[in-house]
């Protein structure tokens, strides 16, 4: 027994050099970096929510308090309805309308194109696919001037059309992602359906779409977040307050009351972020997979 | 002459039928490409040679005047410099930071999905609402950033209110948005075969040796992809500039996309703005091309 305890002590002396010891130290070191970084990353949200709950006199207090002395929940309705100048309910409705339309439009047009690129043989296919790859990285902002001219010609300025029509005409990044997914669907399934006399529309509807629900969910989430946060296009095309989206409304609010009513502005900002947060929390799994796919399988 | 046969899908061979379906399926995208991408790109080139201001009617061909005007405008050159400063900062620090986070999240410790979500979060909520919060965070007198620095004995700078610090501020803020890059790199790390590490260990490689000789080469294609999308993404950054600085103080955060916006929709010189857009387009294509060239030297593709 004495011997056993001696061996133990001996091990103890060299514990930090043993395999388990090194692993344990590694875990602790990892946490020493992971946790403070994590706190840093949620800090903007904490600042936002805590400012949203403070009465005005505490907002400008120094040192800043993370947890407000008193919780002023009234900031939320006050911010939302307090000023006739910006109608947030209306803006939220507009954001929702555009976002839902764009998700459906994107899924429709990109599913068709992705199926064609993944499963159909045709002359010119490689050429068109090269264009998909080339335009995937094209920043839309660089094309904004001529698009503005185009929509001006169409008489679409100051309507939702410049934002709601293009998603029905595909988006290279989504087509690419969905094609990658469609390629993994076994050929035998398609062959079997063809023997049963199914056309491409039926194969797409009855085999590809049901089997691609995770991929389609990923795209829907991407599209939701992209469209909900979209700012450049809406700021450019929507002039009439009644048709503006949430981000544009927030900026109007900032312009009108930004330097004074920080607590109310943060309250409204918090509400604006909630839908994205919910989507993120519930869709995280799809999300992570989708992004990982974009970089690895090329 | 024979009567023209009635066109029907059935009369086509299986092969041309498939071809027809292919083109019908890609038709929406094809129309979009011509209407919203290819057409505008060419249109933009054309517009950049005109003095177009607001309505189409008073449009004259003025050759390269817009470009000459830009070349003579010191603010244009400032905005080019600012753009490269911010893009370089965001790409270099952002990629390094994303790699650090990915390596950390690739450790076998409990709670990884939780941390992954936390680090990803700011990227999802990037937008006007969060840019507003950052104005408050950067507030030199009352903001939490300078308060935190004060606690560790540092007198914080004026951040976005100082022409010297505004660009570093934007780069710093960009570090909170490395989520997608982090996830892509993490997936890349997880795709590296374990045998390679075991082989390296047998050869006596330490942690750094393994990182340098296994991780980096194996990860280089993914890293390359991340750098390219970061460059493109950093060029597009409009929201933060519009909400937080409007190109200021002075012109110190005036980047190309803001310069373009100001010329087009504030000064209403759309011809000039089209020239800016075209220059931005060429810079981006040149940068991407350059990266592909350089990439051939350092990116390691498995054979």
- Cα–Cα distance, A293 to B4 (Å, whole number): 50
Q: Is there a single domain that holds both residue B23 and residue B98?
A: no
pLDDT for A266: 85
The answer to whether the beta carbons of residues B17 and A116 sit under 8 Å apart is no
Vertex B124 angle, CA B284 and B226, to 5°: 35
Q: Examine the pLDDT at B170 and tell me if it is beyond 70.
A: yes
B71 and B43 within one domain: no
In this complex, the residue of B35, B147, B242 whose CB is nearest that of residue A64 is: B147
pLDDT reported for residue A245: 92
Alpha carbon distance A96, A104 (integer Å): 12
Could you list the residue range(s) of the whole structural domain that residue B20 is in? 9-47
**Alpha carbon distance B271, B65 (integer Å):** 10
**Intra-chain end-to-end CA distance of chain A, in Å:** 61
**b (16+ CB within 10 A) / e for B118-133:** bbbbbbbbbbbbbbbb
Nearest CA in chain A to B46: A146
What is the structure's pLDDT at B8? 57
- Is B2 a member of any domain? no
Q: Which residue has the tokens 């999240």?
A: B105
Q: What is the ipTM of this complex?
A: 0.81
Residue A186: φ, ψ to 5°: -60, 135
pLDDT of residue B89: 94
Closest CB from A137, A153, A293 relative to B228: A137
Handedness of CA A32, A35, A40, A43 (dihedral sign): negative
Share the mean pLDDT of chain B.
84
- Best B111, B132, B261 residue to mutate vs chain A (most A CBs within 10 Å): B132
The residue of B18, B22, B109 whose CB has the most chain A CBs within 10 angstroms, and thus the best one to mutate to test that interface, is: B22
Q: Is residue A47 located within the same domain as residue A90?
A: no
**A184 in the same domain as A114:** yes
Side-chain half-sphere exposure of A19, counting CA atoms within 13 A: 0
Nearest CA in chain B to A138: B232
Q: What is the pLDDT of residue B84?
A: 93
Q: State how many domains chain A has.
A: 2
- Interchain pair B180, A291: CB under 8 A: yes
Asked if residue B111 and residue B152 are part of one domain, the reply reads yes
- Are B27 and B102 found together in one domain? no
A144 closest CA partner among B208, B67, B36 = B36
Q: How many angstroms separate the CA atoms of B105 and B111, rounded?
A: 9
List helix spans (H) across chain A.
2-13, 19-52, 56-59, 75-81, 88-119, 125-136, 144-154, 161-164, 172-183, 187-195, 200-203, 209-211, 213-229, 232-237, 246-257, 262-296
Position B79 confidence tier, pLDDT thresholds 50, 70, 90: very high
CB-based contact B119 A116, cutoff 8 Å? no
Same domain, B22 and B104: no
Pairwise CB contact (< 8 Å): A170 & B28:
yes
- Closest CA in chain B for residue A24: B109
Q: Which of A27, A140, A269 sits opposite B129 (nearest CB)?
A: A269
Query: Cα–Cα distances in Å, from A93 out to A81, A90, A96, A99, B136?
Result: 15, 5, 5, 10, 28
Q: Which of A209, A245, A238 has its CA nearest to residue A99? A: A245
Q: How confident is the model at residue B290 (pLDDT cuts 50, 70, 90)?
A: confident
Of A41, A200, A294, the CB nearest to B119: A41
Chain A residues in contact with B128 by the CB 8 A cut-off are 229, 231, 246-248, 250-251, 269, 272
A6 and A148 co-located in one domain: no
Residues A135 and A254 in one domain: yes
**Chain B partners within 8 Å of A158 (Cβ):** none
CA distance A10 to chain B (A): 25
- Determine the pLDDT at residue A13: 53
Question: pTM to 2 decimals?
Answer: 0.84
Last residue of a domain, one of A57, A78, A99: A78
CB atoms within 10 A of CB A217: 16
On chain A, the residues whose CB falls within 8 A of the CB of B118 are 38, 41-42
Q: Tell whether B243 is covered by a domain.
A: yes
Token pair for B72: 């003579």
CA angle at residue B290 from B284 to B176, to 5 degrees? 60
Nearest CA in chain A to B122: A41
Using CB atoms, pick whichever of A143, A169, A292 lies closest to residue B28. A169
Q: How far is CA B112 from CA B117, B180, B188, in A?
A: 9, 16, 16
pLDDT for A206 equals 86
Specify whether A126 is located in the same domain as A229: yes
Domain shared by B151 and B277, yes or no: yes
Domain-embedded: residue B58? no
CB atoms A41 and B21 under 8 Å: no
Same domain, A93 and A179: yes
For the four alpha carbons of A276, A234, B143 and B124, in that order, the dihedral sign comes to positive
A113 vs B18, B26, B221: nearest CB:
B26
- Examine the domain organization and report whether A73 and A96 are in the same domain: no
CA distance A166 to B262: 25
Distance from CA of A12 to the nearest CA of B (A): 23
Q: Quick one: B140 exposed, middle or buried, by C-beta within 10 A (0-12, 13-18, 19+)? A: middle
In order along its 298 residues, chain A shows pLDDT tens digits of: 444 444 444 455 566 667 777 777 878 888 888 888 899 898 888 888 888 888 877 877 777 777 887 788 878 887 788 665 678 888 899 999 999 999 999 999 999 999 999 888 888 888 998 888 888 877 777 788 888 888 888 889 889 999 999 999 988 888 988 888 888 888 888 888 888 887 888 888 888 888 888 888 888 888 898 899 889 889 989 988 888 999 988 888 877 766 678 888 888 888 888 888 888 888 877 777 666 666 554 3
Domain stop point among A62, A78, A94? A78
* CATH classification at residue A181: 1.10.3720.10
**The domain boundary residue, chosen from A58, A78, A98:** A78
A156 & A235 share domain: yes
Where does the pLDDT of residue B301 fall: very low under 50, low under 70, confident under 90, or very high at 90 and above?
Answer: low
User: Do A276 and B134 make contact, defined as CB atoms within 8 angstroms?
Assistant: no
Residues A41 and A65 in one domain: yes
Interface test with B, best of A44, A65, A116, A145 (most B CBs within 10 A): A145
Residues A168 and A268 in one domain: yes
Q: Which 3 state secondary structure label does DSSP give B50?
A: strand
Which residue segment(s) compose the domain that A52 sits in?
A: 2-78
Residue B279, domain CATH: 1.10.3720.10
8 Å CB contact of B39 and A125? no
Nearest to A64 among B40, B104, B144 (CB): B144
Task: Answer whether B287's CB lies under 8 Å from A138's CB.
Answer: no
How far is it, in rounded angstroms, from Cα A166 to Cα A236?
A: 15
Band (pLDDT 50/70/90 cuts) for residue B1 is very low
A228/A4 Cα distance (integer angstroms): 65
Q: Is residue B201 within 8 Å of residue B194, measured between CB atoms?
A: no
Q: What is the distance between the alpha carbons of residues B166 and B248, in angstroms, rounded to a whole number?
A: 8
Task: Indicate yes or no: CB of B28 within 8 angstroms of CB of A113.
Answer: yes
State the nearest Cα–Cα gap between A288 and chain B, in angstroms: 7
**Is the same domain home to B38 and B76?**
no
Mean pLDDT over B258-283 rounds to: 86
What local confidence, expressed as pLDDT, does residue A5 receive?
46
Q: Could you tell me if B39 and B98 lie in one domain?
A: no
> Would you say B244 and B254 are in contact if contact means Cβ atoms under 8 Å apart?
no
Whether residue A143 and residue B44 make contact (CB cut-off 8 A), yes or no, is yes
For residue A287, what are the contacts with CB-CB under 8 A and spacing of at least 6? A218, A221, A222, A280, B120
Is there a contact between B32 and A169 if contact means CB atoms under 8 Å apart?
yes
- Report chain A residues whose CB lies below 8 A from the CB of B228: 137
Q: How many CB atoms lie within 10 A of CB B219?
A: 22
Same domain, residue pair A32 and A73: yes
Taking contacts as CB-CB distances below 8 angstroms, the residues of chain B near A177 are none
- Shared domain for A93 and A191, answered yes or no, is yes
Q: Tell me the pLDDT band of B11, cut-offs 50, 70 and 90.
A: low
CA torsion sign for A231, A234, A240, A245 is negative
Res B94: pLDDT: 93
Number of domains in chain B: 2
Pick from A42-46, B76-80, B203-207: least confident: B203-207
Tell if the CB–CB gap between A141 and B238 is shorter than 8 Å. yes
Q: Does B54 reside within a domain?
A: no
Residue A199 Ramachandran class (φ > 0 left, ψ -120 to 50 alpha, else beta) = beta
Q: What angle do CA A43, A48, A50 make, to 5 degrees?
A: 90
Q: Are residues B71 and B125 in the same domain?
A: yes
Helix (DSSP H) and strand (DSSP E) numbers for chain B: 15, 0
Shared domain for B36 and B172, answered yes or no, is: no
pLDDT tens for residues B16-46? 888 888 999 999 999 999 988 888 888 778 8
> Between residues 116 and 145 of chain B, which touch chain A (CB distance below 8 Å)?
116-122, 124-130, 132-134, 136-137, 141-144
Same domain, B16 and B164: no
Same domain? B140 vs B235: yes
């Amino acid at each position: 027994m004495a011997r056993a305890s001696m061996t133990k002590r001996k091990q103890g002396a060299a514990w930090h050099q043993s395999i388990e010891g090194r692993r344990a130290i590694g875990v602790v070191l990892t946490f020493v970096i992971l946790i403070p970084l994590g706190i840093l990353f949620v800090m903007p949200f904490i600042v936002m929510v805590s400012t949203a709950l403070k009465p005005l006199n505490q907002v400008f207090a120094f040192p800043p308090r993370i947890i407000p002395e008193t919780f002023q929940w009234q900031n939320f309705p006050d911010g939302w309805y307090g000023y006739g100048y910006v109608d947030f309910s209306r803006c939220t409705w507009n954001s929702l309308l555009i976002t839902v339309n764009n998700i459906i439009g994107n899924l429709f047009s990109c599913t068709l194109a992705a199926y064609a690129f993944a499963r159909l043989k045709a002359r010119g296919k490689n050429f068109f696919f090269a264009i998909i790859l080339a335009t995937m990285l094209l920043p839309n902002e660089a094309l904004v001037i001529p698009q503005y001219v185009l929509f001006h010609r169409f008489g679409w300025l100051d309507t939702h059309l410049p934002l709601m029509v293009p998603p029905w005409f595909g988006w290279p990044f989504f087509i690419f992602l969905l094609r990658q997914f469609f390629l993994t669907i076994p050929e035998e399934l398609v062959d079997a359906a063809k023997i049963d006399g199914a056309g491409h529309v039926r194969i797409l509807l009855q085999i590809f779409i049901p089997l691609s629900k995770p991929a389609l969910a990923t795209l829907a989430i991407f599209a939701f977040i992209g469209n909900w946060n979209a700012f450049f296009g809406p700021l450019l095309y929507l002039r009439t307050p009644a048709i503006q989206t949430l981000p544009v409304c927030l900026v109007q609010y900032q312009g009108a009351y930004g330097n004074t009513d920080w607590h109310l502005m943060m309250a409204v900002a918090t509400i604006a972020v909630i839908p994205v947060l919910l989507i993120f929390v519930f869709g995280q799994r799809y999300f992570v997979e989708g992004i990982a796919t974009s970089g690895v399988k090329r | 002459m024979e009567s023209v046969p009635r066109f029907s899908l059935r009369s086509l061979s299986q092969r041309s039928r498939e071809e027809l379906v292919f083109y019908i399926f890609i038709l929406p995208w094809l129309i979009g490409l011509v209407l919203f991408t290819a057409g505008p790109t060419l249109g933009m080139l054309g517009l950049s040679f005109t003095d177009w201001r607001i309505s189409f009617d008073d449009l004259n061909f003025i050759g390269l005047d817009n470009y000459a005007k830009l070349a003579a405008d010191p603010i244009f050159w400032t905005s080019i410099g600012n753009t490269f400063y911010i893009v370089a900062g965001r790409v270099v620090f952002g990629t390094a930071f994303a790699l650090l986070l990915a390596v950390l999240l690739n450790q076998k410790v409990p709670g990884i999905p939780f941390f992954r979500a936390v680090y990803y979060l700011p990227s999802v909520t990037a937008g006007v609402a969060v840019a507003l919060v950052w104005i408050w965070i950067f507030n030199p007198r009352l903001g939490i950033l300078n308060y935190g620095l004060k606690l560790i004995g540092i007198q914080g700078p004026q951040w976005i209110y100082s022409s010297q610090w505004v660009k570093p501020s934007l780069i710093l803020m960009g570090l909170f948005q490395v989520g997608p890059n982090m996830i892509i790199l993490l997936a890349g790390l997880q795709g590296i075969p374990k045998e390679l590490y075991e082989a390296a260990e047998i050869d006596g490689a330490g942690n750094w040796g393994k990182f340098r000789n296994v991780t980096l080469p194996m990860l280089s294609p993914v890293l390359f992809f991340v750098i390219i999308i970061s460059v493109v993404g950093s060029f597009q950054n409009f929201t933060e500039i519009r909400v937080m600085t409007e190109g200021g103080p002075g012109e110190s955060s005036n980047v190309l996309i803001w310069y373009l916006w100001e010329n087009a929709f504030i000064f209403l010189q759309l011809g000039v703005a089209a020239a800016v857009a075209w220059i931005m387009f060429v810079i981006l294509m040149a940068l991407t091309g350059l990266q592909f060239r350089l990439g051939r030297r350092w990116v390691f593709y498995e054979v």
